[in-house]
Structure 1
Amino acid sequence: MAGDHRRVQKKKETGAFFFFMATLIMWAVSVFFEILFNRRTELLPLIFGFCFYQLSNWVCRKFISRDPLFVNTCVSLLHSSLTSASVVFILVKQLASNDVNQIFEHSQLVNTTWPWAYSALCISCGYFAYDQLDMLLYGLYSGLIPSILLHHFILLGCFTLALYRNVTINYLILTLICELHSIFLHVRKVRRMAGLRDGKSKLVKIEWFLNMATFLFARLLSHVLITVKLIKDASKFEKGIELPLALFGMAGMNLLNVFLGMDLFNAFRREGNRHNVHKS
């Protein structure tokens, strides 16, 4: 326990901690300014999202486990499940009453907002702020430039600016379909922390199949298609920050997806090799 505390304290002395904590504080000041001084009450679900997931963290820490990584993973699993259900609900509702081509038409994705989409995006944005804070406080990251903190930094920037300007909300809802894959990422982490590491068991094989399938279709392919759509409709965007910010955000997401795919493949191979070693 003392070793863990020293490890966290050491991380709090790094440049990464100060940079990402400073940007998070600046983000929080900006949000409160918009709500309190500009009367942007539609942003209140963002505060609700942050408080809801912070409360979930407290409940998990109080009644299940005090391990920061386990608690963080459980709350992340909750977010992925709720967000996936929200995105699927929004899309099904739209498909039930509109033509597919109409739904994915440029003006629909950029200038209009589907019912519940704004609130869903606010709540997810609140989660990413909570998760960034939790990881910083408990040192749940590694590396000189931690990819997970960079991922949240990009998301908070893109999501918040879109919410402030009330544009590209539907585009961002489409990007959140990747949370279907995040469910199985978090399930795998919980399973391994519970000591279930037999790479050849049927349940683990099913989990890996769903993990890989959702990575390919819900994360990798969906983000590539969104990027292609942005490039194809580039001339339809008005002059401003929307297109450059969208392209920057998707470029970052696609790059992180490549690294995530490599990590997944290596993890899959390691689990299989571990089983073969034990078997021999």
Structure 2
Amino acid sequence: MARSNQSQSKNNEKAGTFFVATLVLWLVSVIFEIVFNQRKELLFIIAGACFYQTANWVIRSFVSHDPIFVNTSVSLLHSIITSVSVVFILVNQWLKNGLNEMFDHSQLVENTWPWAYPGLCFSCGYFAYDQLDMLHYRLYSGLIPSILVHHLILLICFTLALYRNVTINYLILTLICELHSIFLHVRKVRRMAGVRDAKSRVVRVEWVLHWFTFFFARLASHVLITIKLIKDAPKFEKGVELPLALFGMAGMNLLNIFLAIDLFNAFRREKNPQQNDHRHRE
């Protein structure tokens, strides 16, 4: 048991060192773009990171000192803000140009919808903040923590797209999954608050919304985006845009499969708590 804990601690330390290094390199690149290339529009990334760090401090000071609760609460705030922003951007564009034009290849790759660029920057700042918060409080485990890999993939894809100012609208579409993330974080906060009765109406409604948003806002939307990328592959110019987009979506779809397995197991445990008393509790 002691050896197992020691091995896990070493794995966590190795993972932490690697992801801290990648985060530092990412920050240096962003500062370089802002300062030396005069990309002032990228300041929204810094603004996003500062906003969510401030939210972290407020919750930690006035609500709870539990790192997991604080991190989850800020993540919930991000999911709500991002979901509202993405829906606003999509509805605004739909009413303005209609569905056919807004999902045209040139619109998704070469153009940028109103508010999409600062919205993507702001969300990018959140992922940097969240990566740092999880590294600081060791809110991960294993040699290859999926949540840290997820954030790293997003930071790479988002920042490269923002630097080149391409595929911004594609990335905004991927963020519709934050509608499902709302219920991921709500469930976690609810359980930490001690509300675990699977037979209660609130919990049952939550799970219905959980599965609905998972299949439509996360799983289906990401699969459709991937299909759209493959279908429009000949329309992409030579460069890193298509390979990077396909790599990013492959990673997200794979993580969605793992998430579906975790959700199913969590649903089964919560529905049959008496059969799982002997297991490690979530």
1:180-191 mapped onto 2 (5 Å cutoff): 180-191=179-190
Unpaired stretches in structure 1, ≥5 consecutive residues:
1-5
Of residues 135-144 and 124-133 in structure 1, the stretch that sits farther from structure 2 once superposed is 135-144
Question: Which runs of at least 4 in structure 1 moved beyond 6 Å after TM superposition?
Answer: none
Cα displacement string for residues 152-208 of structure 1 (whole angstroms, at most 9, x for unaligned residues): 000000000000000000000000000000000000000000011111111000000
Tell me if 1:178 matches 2:177: yes
1:7-22 mapped onto 2 (5 Å cutoff): 10=9, 14-22=13-21
Shift of 1:13: 6.5
Partner of 1:230: 229
- CA pair 236-196 structure 1, distance change in 2 beyond 3 A: same
Task: Confirm or deny: 8 A CA contact 2:11 2:143 kept in the other structure.
Answer: no
Partner of 2:92: 93
Percent of pairs with identical residues: 72
Cα displacement string for residues 52-76 of structure 1 (whole angstroms, at most 9, x for unaligned residues): 0000000000000000000000000
Unpaired stretches in structure 2, ≥5 consecutive residues:
278-282
- Please report the TM-score for the alignment, with normalisation by the length of structure 1: 0.94
Partner of 2:215: 216
Partner of 2:251: 252
Q: Distance in 2 between matches of 1:263 and 1:13?
A: 21
Structure 2 residue matching 1:177: 3-state secondary structure: helix
Task: Confirm or deny: 8 A CA contact 2:222 2:249 kept in the other structure.
Answer: yes
Q: Distance in 2 between matches of 1:276 and 1:67?
A: 29
Partner of 1:58: 57
Task: Confirm or deny: 8 A CA contact 2:89 2:114 kept in the other structure.
Answer: yes
Shift of 1:277: 7.9
Task: Confirm or deny: 8 A CA contact 1:223 1:250 kept in the other structure.
Answer: yes
- CA pair 251-13 structure 1, distance change in 2 beyond 3 A: closer
1:30-45 mapped onto 2 (5 Å cutoff): 30-45=29-44
Aligned residue identity for 1:84: S
Partner of 1:3: none
Q: Distance in 2 between matches of 1:192 and 1:114?
A: 38
1:259-278 mapped onto 2 (5 Å cutoff): 259-274=258-273
Aligned residue identity for 1:260: L
Aligned residue identity for 1:16: A
Shift of 1:144: 1.6
Q: Distance in 1 between matches of 2:37 and 2:96?
A: 35
Shift of 1:99: 1.9
Structure 2 residue matching 1:14: 3-state secondary structure: helix
Cα displacement string for residues 94-130 of structure 1 (whole angstroms, at most 9, x for unaligned residues): 1111121100000000000000000000000000000
Q: Distance in 2 between matches of 1:99 and 1:173?
A: 17
Aligned residue identity for 2:249: M
1:194-209 mapped onto 2 (5 Å cutoff): 194-209=193-208
Q: Distance in 2 between matches of 1:36 and 1:62?
A: 33
Tell me if 1:153 matches 2:183: no
Aligned residue identity for 1:205: R
Aligned residue identity for 1:83: T
Structure 1 residue matching 2:33: 3-state secondary structure: helix
- CA pair 202-22 structure 1, distance change in 2 beyond 3 A: same
Of residues 194-203 and 268-277 in structure 1, the stretch that sits farther from structure 2 once superposed is 268-277
Q: Distance in 2 between matches of 1:277 and 1:11?
A: 30
- CA pair 75-222 structure 1, distance change in 2 beyond 3 A: same
- CA pair 276-17 structure 1, distance change in 2 beyond 3 A: closer
Q: Distance in 1 between matches of 2:74 and 2:37?
A: 31
Aligned residue identity for 2:252: M
Q: Distance in 2 between matches of 1:40 and 1:11?
A: 40
- Please report the TM-score for the alignment, with normalisation by the length of structure 2: 0.94
Partner of 2:135: 136
Shift of 1:11: 6.6
Aligned residues: 272
